[in-house]
Amino acid sequence: MARLIAEGLANGEIGSRLFISKRTVETHVTNMLNKLGLSSRMQLAPWVAGVRPT
């Protein structure tokens, strides 16, 4: 899911690809950002690429 977010897909598009609801995607995105200590989806792309803030 993180890779799809980093590719710029919207929640609905991710849900369609993974055969889950948009709401389920929203929940997973929120949980993922919280666990990683990120505040936005835009911060996820560098994380997926392996770039960590110093």
- Please report, for the domain that includes residue 15, its CATH number: 1.10.10.10
What total of structural domains would you count in the chain? Answer: 1
pTM of the model: 0.84
Q: Residue 47 in contact with residue 38, Cβ under 8 Å?
A: yes
| pLDDT number for residue 26 | 97
Mean per-residue pLDDT over the chain, rounded: 92
The answer, yes or no, to whether residue 54 has pLDDT greater than 70, is: no
Range of the domain at 6: 2-48
**Mean pLDDT of the 33-41 span:** 94
| In a domain? residue 27 | yes
The answer, yes or no, to whether residue 6 has pLDDT greater than 70, is: yes
| In a domain? residue 11 | yes
Tokens of 52: 């960590």
Distance CA 11, CA 28 (A): 10
At 49, the pLDDT band (50, 70, 90 cuts) reads confident
Dihedral pair phi/psi, residue 10, rounded to 5°: -80, 165
Q: Residues with Cβ < 8 Å from 54, sequence gap 6 or more?
A: none
| In a domain? residue 53 | no
Distance CA 25, CA 1 (A): 8
| In a domain? residue 54 | no
| In a domain? residue 33 | yes
